[in-house]
Amino acid sequence: MIEAELKALSDLSEEVLMAWLAVESPSDRRRQQALALLADAGMLLFNAHQNLTLDDEGKPVTLKP
């Protein structure tokens, strides 16, 4: 299901971001941009998952295939 895949990707992007930040604090501008893009991608994946699994009132919905 796409919802599960989005959730897994969102979780993975968060893990990668946290692991990266744990080992370095980048001073190189390109690496800073890469971290920012990874954080943005993680938020977009999280929001996509929320939009697919919750209705406007925050209640779970079930999508039909």
Per-residue pLDDT of the chain (65 residues; tens, 9 = 90+): 788 898 999 999 999 999 998 998 878 899 899 999 999 999 999 999 888 888 777 787 765 65
Q: Which pLDDT score, from 0 to 100, does residue 64 have?
A: 60
Inside any domain, residue 62? no
Establish how many alpha carbons lie within 13 A of residue 65's alpha carbon, considering only the half-sphere containing its beta carbon: 1
The Cα–Cα gap between 42 and 7 comes to 10
The Cα–Cα gap between 21 and 27 comes to 12
Inside any domain, residue 45? yes
How many domains does the structure of the chain reveal? 1
Inside any domain, residue 23? yes
Q: Give residue 6's domain range.
A: 2-53
Would the pTM of this model clear 0.75, i.e. be above it? no
Q: Which pLDDT score, from 0 to 100, does residue 11 have?
A: 93
Inside any domain, residue 10? yes
Inside any domain, residue 63? no
Q: Which pLDDT score, from 0 to 100, does residue 59 have?
A: 81
How remote is the C-alpha of 20 from its chain's centroid? 15
Longest distance between any two alpha carbons in the chain, whole Å = 47
